[in-house]
Structure formats: C-alpha cells, structure tokens
Structure 1
Amino acid sequence: MTEHGRQPVERQLPTEEARDLISLVRELAEREIAPRAAEEEAAGRFPRDLFRLLSDSGLLGLPYPEKFGGGDQPYEVYLQVLEELAAARLTVGLGVSVHTLACHALATFGTEEQRTEHLPDMLGGGLLGAYCLSEPASGSDAASLRTRAVRDGDDWVLNGTKAWITHGGVADFYTVLARTGGEGPRGVTAFLVPGDAEGLSAAAPERKMGMNGSPTAQLHFDGVRVPDARRLGDEGQGFTVALAALDAGRLGIAACALGVAQAALDEAVAYVAERRQFGRPIGDFQGLRFMLADMATQIEAGRALYLGAARRRDAGLPYAKQAAMAKLFCTDTAMRVTTDAVQLLGGYGYTVDFPVERYMREAKVLQIVEGTNQIQRVVIGRHLVGPESR
C-alpha cells in the first residue's frame, strides 16, 4: 500500500488544552491507526483493541461531563477530533461517533442515578456502544418502527429486529428504541440494553462496498428482558430522545466525512507533485490545479459549516437545521472530493495500491447513514417553510 503522510490541518481551537488534545490524537492516529487501516479493511477485521486504546486515552467520552468520566470538551473540539480519527481510518472515526450517539440518551435524558451507575463505564471503562433505531422496514420513516416492548412487572420484554446496526454483535451495550404504545412517534420508548442480554442475538454482518472493518448487522430481540430501571426518559418519550441524538450524530458524520475528504485531498496533492508527464510534474498543469483548488475550497466550506453548527450547540442555541445542512454538505463534499482524487491519480487511483479508491467507497455510505441526504433536505425545508400541508 502506497500512502503519503497527511498534512496537518490548520484548526480553530479555543484553548491550549484543545490544541494539546488534537496533537495527541494526530500522534495516536499516525502511530496506531493509519498503518493498519488498509490491511484490516481489506481483511474485514474489526479493530476492537483500538477502541480500548481510545477509551484508555480518554477519547470515547469527550463531549460528556467529567464527573461521569467524560472529557468535558465542547462539541467544537470533539468534532475536530473525530475528523482527525476518520482521516486515519473511517471505521475508527465513525465508530467513535456511533459510540457517542449511543451514550447520548443516557447522558441527556437519564436520571442522576442512571448516569452515575452506567456512564463512567460507558465513557471510560473500555465499553463500546451501538444505537438501534432502524429496522428492516423502517429506515427513513423511523416512527413506523415495529420492535415492541411490553411491560411485565418491573421489567420490559422486547421482541423484534433492528437493522443496519453499526457495531451490531460486538457492542457492550445498545440504546434501543422500541414501541410501548400506539402507532406513530408518541408510542416509542428508549431502553439501555446490555450486549450480553439473554435473547439478544446478531445476524451475520452485512457484506458492504466499503468500511468492511466495521460490522453492520441485524439484531434480533427474542424475549429480551430489561428492567424498568434501564428505561431512558419517560415512557413514550423515545422519539424525542432519538431525534435529539440524531441532531448531534449528524454533526459527527459531517466531521467524519471531511476527515475522509481531507485524506483524499492530501493524497492527491502529494501524487500530482511527484507524478511526471510530458517532462514535468503533472501538478504544473492548470486543469489539475483547478480540480485541487475546488476540492480544498469545498473542504474548508464544509469545515466552517459543521463548526458553526457545533458552536451553536455549545452555546445552547437551536442547531437542528444547521446540523442537517452540515451533514448534507459535508457528505456530498466527501463523495465529490474522493471521486476527483481517484480521477487525479488516473489508473493508479483505481487500484488498491493507493488508498483513494477505498476513500471513495467509504464516502458513499456517509450520504446514507444518520438520515439520507434526501431526508436532510426535507428537514432543512421544514425549517424554512414549515411542515408539508397534508
């Protein structure tokens, strides 16, 4: 595998502590994550040891309170950490984003007792989480989910199937949305389900075009019994819990997308500086320079967009519209930039000897997860002109 070293990104960081944190992440990514990425993705190996290392380094709970084992970092900083991790390997960056998403319901809607009991292990105890909303027949229409939880004394009994679950079968805990009442969003409740719960099983991982090191699988709930003490939020509040988590999660996907795009740009810049045709480096040709300029401009614009949304979140301002815009723009940018990177490398870009073909395959899924980009346009449109009349 031929892979050029990445150029450090000029980052807007609010404190000296944040600058030190980014330096630590870059060093860890260059030493522990990037060298293994190509081989393990090709082999479909999940790097569980890297997530333990990230946990030991305090990187699995960055945006959560320090008193529960988190890092007390603003989202503005956490997202730039995600970008650095995703640039080294999307399986790792996206995995941290999914773990953060899985912790969100407990951290935001859990009781003080629940957070004290569970969050320290989830944020710094080596555990890995997953988020269970989608189902085989319930994707973009998440409110139509069919997995059901029925009250039985002090317990709830869960039956149903979840689909497209990142970390499915390898996670230590799952944040699960299940139907406890009637149809529609008001009948949904959130639960914290242990990964080793009796009656919980995972199907074989999906065979995907990219991110083969990250397992994506269906989860089957066959009479899974969960104490009421593991219910997150009020009964029937689950859809509100889910949407709040998704707003934050979309910013994580935006940051990961720009990590992949930046890695592809770095590879393309290094290649055109070395490759010679017609007696000179191909980087001398204006047409290629224009492509690189467009790629770099799109990345900078996307970074400004996700950071602006993150700062709104950190300030306690509404940010759902901006999160949808960031997810939409950054993931579309990743697809364009990685496709152009393959083109700039020519035939070499189409081979596995260079990483840009992997970046292109990985970028595609980012336009789908955490709400497709068509759904993001629906969300943005509703913020602009209100709900559809029907």
Structure 2
Amino acid sequence: MLDIAFDKGDSPLAASIGKAGQTWNSSAEPPAPDCPRWQALSETGLFRLACDRDKPFAERNIGIIHAMERLGEECRDGGFTFAVATHLASTLTALDRFASAELRAEVLPDLVAGRRIGAHAISEAEAGSDALAMTTTARRDGPDYVLDGDKAFVTNGPIADVFVIYARTAGTGAGSVSAFLVDRDTPGLTVAGAKPLVGLKTSMNGPLQLRGCRVPASRLIGREGAGFMVLSHVMKQEILYSFMANVGQMKHTLARCVRHVRRRRQFDRPIGDFQAVSHRIANMKMRYEISRQCILTAAARQARNKDVTSDVAIAKIYVSEALLANAIDAVHLHGGVGYLEETGLGEGVADALAAPIYSGTNDIQRGRIAAMMGVGS
C-alpha cells in the first residue's frame, strides 16, 4: 500500500521550484556552474537535500522525488532535467551514501552549491547493458590506482568537473568492479566533446579516455570491489528521480492537450466531443496517473527497506513507455499544428524516444523482473 505521505507533492522545495517556473525556460543553454538555471536550482536547496544527513534517507528521497516531478512539470527542457537527475543520483547520491567522511567533506560542498557538476561513467562501446563486460581497469600502485580504458555515453561528461568512474579492479563477477571519483583535470583523463543527440539536446553526452590516469586510493567510493553495490543503489535513485521528472512532463502535456481539445472546434463543436479524441485523452490520463503511482509505490517500499528491484524495473518500463505514448498522442491531437517545430511537441517525442534506453534498457529491465521470479537464465 502507498503511504499517503508519499503522495503529497506540496513540499516547500517543490513549491520553490514552481515559483521559479520562468527561470527553467529562460534559455536553452546546456547546464554549467555559471548557468543561471543551474544556479537557481542549487539555490532552491535541491542538491543540499540529497546530502543532508540530519534528515532520514526516506524523507530526503521523497522530497527529491516530488521536487523532480515539479521541475519536470515546469521545465520544457528535458535535457536540463536529465542532467539534474544525473548530478543528483549518479554523483551526489553515490558520494553521500558510500564515500568516506574525508572525501565527502572535500568534494560535496562545491557539488551541493552548484559550483561543480558531476558525471557518471559506466558504459563502454562494447559494454552497455552487459556492464560486467567492461574492460576499463584500475590497477593498484602504491597509494594510488592507475586507470586505463574508454567510457562511452557519459551523461554530463563534456561539462562535468568530477566523474564517478567504474573500473575493473580484480577478477570477474560482481565483486570485480570498483567506483572512483576522478577530477576532470587529472593527468591521463581526456574528456571528448558532446555527441549530438536526437533529443534531450541540452544533455551533454560524450566519451572519455583514461590512459595511465593515476587516482589516489582515498578517491575510492566505498571499498574495493563494491562498485556494483554502489551502481545498484545509484541506478535505482536515477530511475526514481529522472522518471518522476518525466511524470511531471506528462502532467504538463496532458493539461496542454485538454485545453486544446476544449478550445479547438471542428464541425461546429469542440473536438473533445468526439469519442476518438476523448478516449485518447482518457488514455493519456490513465498513463499519467499509473506512472505516478508506480514511482511513488517504489519509493514507499524502499523507505520500508523492502527489496525494490522489481518495483523500480516495473516503474522504469511503464513510465518510459507511457511517456512516449503520451508524447505521440499529443502530436496527433494537435493535428498538423502538432508537427510544427514551434509547438515543441515533436521535441517531446524525440526526448521520450530515449527513455526506454537510458538507465537500463527496457529489455534488460524485463529480464530483471523475470529473474526475480525465478524465470529465465
């Protein structure tokens, strides 16, 4: 059952994001520490909440989830919200939960204040869904680790100041990978420019290269061999945060479509009077409501220390596919006007195309759900 406390989206943090609504759409520039949008978001306290150890994790978690929902509702830039989710989950969450007290004290203040941006490097050209196939290595050499390899599809990579990089430290299997925090200016780390994306245009994504990159052992996040434990937690939070932003986007799109079908007239009546149109609106409403409950239910179960592997996978699949379906329906409901670039509805479809792919493809998520039931290899 969903705890009613998890269904309230009227937190002060969410409200502050709502009040700054015009700020989120004031430009289309990529995130950066000196970007007014990034600074405005850090000033709401969103990043600070992620690392506020005076509050229980469950309280922080639901606060962030509702804040991301409001950001998704207010901000028309899906790339910006995705960059925010990556900074929150893949960097702040990883460091807050697993890093040493010394490392947290060193790096979190600037990340929380928005003065630095974090990125997350796990995928490789031949190791995407099969993360255990990664070939990037981290070899212990005295007080340091020496990292060698190549990473691909690094969200926030071209603009990041610090990277959480996953590398193989020994052997095979889940205990063979470790996580490291690496500064952008570390010798041996080369960050490439952004690769143009079909959608999520302001989400800067690109590869990086590690060649004899020497990282102090104090920059290890968690213990050696705990990389997949870090990654498992991080990916759950990334899904909850980024896909709740998608729920907020669905809410905005639905409201826009309802206004349109009430106002647009054909054959001397509003097009919403036609059953084909009204049923499409009803389907959009159902997808939105179910998506929202999927995320909130997973968060509520996580707060009770339940295993939410299946819950999060189900939420990821359902929300991503509902987001795409609603984005396409929004274009169709607007007819020819919906296909005009100026409406932004086509951009919504392009953004939504990525959702079944990132944060673990939906095919991988379905396999995970089956495995939790003892089905499949």
The two structures have a TM-score, normalised by structure 2, of 0.91
2:87 maps to what in 1?
A: 99
**Deviation digits for residues 225-271 of structure 1 (CA, Å, limit 9, x no counterpart):** 11000011111111221112112222123212212322221221122
User: What is the aligned counterpart of 1:74 among 44, 48, 60?
Assistant: 60
Which amino acid in the other structure matches residue 23 of structure 1? A
Q: Paired residue for 2:177?
A: 188
Which range moves more in the overlay, 16-25 or 354-363?
A: 16-25
Q: CA deviation at 1:211?
A: 1.0
Partners of 1:329 and 1:275 in 2: CA distance: 30
Per-residue deviation at 1:223?
1.9
Cα 1:120–1:35 shift into 2, 3 Å: closer
Indicate the SS of the match to 1:62.
Answer: helix
**Aligned equivalent of 1:6:** none
Is residue 57 of structure 1 aligned with residue 44 of structure 2? yes
Task: Name the counterpart of 1:299.
Answer: 288
Q: Which amino acid aligns with 1:34?
A: N
The amino acid across from 2:371 in the alignment is: R
Q: Cα gap change, 1:135/1:335 in structure 2, threshold over 3 Å: closer, same or farther? A: same
Partner deviation per Cα, 1:74-111 (whole Å, 9 max, x = no partner): 32231121122223121222112101222222211222
Alignment partner, residue 338 of structure 2: 349
One-letter code aligned to 1:32: T
Deviation at 1:142, TM superposition (A): 0.5
**Aligned mates of 2:7, 2:171 — CA distance in 1:** 48
DSSP 3-state at the match of 2:25: helix
Secondary structure of 1:186's partner? helix
Pick aligned residue for 2:268 from 259, 265, 279: 279
Aligned to 1:313: 302
Whether 1:84 and 2:70 are equivalent positions in the alignment is yes
Task: Report if the CA contact (8 A) 1:350-1:357 is conserved.
Answer: yes
Q: Offset at 1:24?
A: 0.9
Alpha-carbon separation, structure 1, partners of 2:307 and 2:52: 20
- 1:104-136 CA-to-partner distances (Å, cap 9, x unmatched) read 222112222222332232223522111111011
Name the CA shift for 1:348/1:13 in 2 (closer, same or farther; >3 Å).
farther
**For residue 256 of structure 1, what is the aligned residue in structure 2?**
245
Question: Do the aligned partners of 2:110 and 2:116 also contact (CA within 8 Å) in 1?
Answer: yes
Cα separation, 1, equivalents of 2:278 and 2:355: 27
After TM superposition, list the pairs within 5 Å mapping 1:163-174 onto structure 2.
Answer: 163-174=152-163
Match of residue 46, structure 1, among 27, 30, 50: 30
The 5-angstrom pairing of residues 1-390 of structure 1 reads 19-28=11-20, 30-36=21-27, 40=28, 45-48=29-32, 49=35, 50-66=37-53, 73-87=59-73, 88=75, 89-101=77-89, 102-385=91-374, 388-389=376-377
Structure 1 CA distance, aligned partners of 2:8 and 2:238? 26
Secondary structure in 2 matching 1:366: coil
Cα pair 1:91 1:211 within 8 Å, conserved: yes
**Structure 2 CA distance for aligned equivalents of residues 373 and 134 of structure 1:** 16
Post-superposition shift, 1:71? Answer: 10
Change in Cα spacing, 1:16 to 1:240, as seen in structure 2 (3 Å) is closer
Counterpart of 2:45, as a letter, is G
RMSD: 2.2
**SS of equivalent to 2:197:** coil
Cα distance between partner residues in 2 of 1:248 and 1:71: 12
Per-residue Cα deviation, 1:160-194 (whole angstroms, up to 9, x for no partner): 11111111121111111011112333211110111
Higher mean displacement: 360-369 or 47-56: 47-56
Deviation at 1:291, TM superposition (A): 0.6
Q: TM-score, normalised by structure 1?
A: 0.88
Q: Mark the CA change 1:327 to 1:180 in structure 2 (over 3 Å): closer, same or farther.
A: same
Give me the whole-angstrom Cα distance separating, in 2, the residues matched to 1:84 and 1:300: 15
The one-letter code of the counterpart of 1:229 is: S
C-alpha distance in 2, partners of 1:384/1:98? 30
Distance in 1 between residues matched to 2:67 and 2:179, nearest whole Å: 28
Task: Using the TM superposition, give the Cα deviation of residue 20 of structure 1 relative to its aligned residue in structure 2, in angstroms.
Answer: 2.3
SS, match of residue 158 in structure 1? strand
Q: Name whichever of 102-111 and 14-23 sits farther off.
A: 14-23
Q: Which stretch shows the higher mean deviation, 127-136 or 48-57? A: 48-57
SS in 2 for 1:182: coil
CA 1:321–1:35 in structure 2 vs 1: closer, same or farther (change >3 Å)?
Answer: same
Task: Please say if residues 31 and 159 of structure 2, whose CA atoms lie closer than 8 Å, have aligned partners that are also in contact.
Answer: no
Distance 1:117 1:181, change over 3 A: same
Cα distance in structure 2, aligned partners of 1:264 and 1:96: 20
**How far has the Cα of 1:381 moved from its partner?**
0.9
Alpha-carbon separation, structure 2, partners of 1:14 and 1:370: 23
> Percent same amino acid among aligned pairs?
32
Aligned-partner SS, 1:295: helix
Render the CA deviation track for 1:289-329: whole Å, top value 9, x for unaligned: 11101101111011011001111222322212111111111
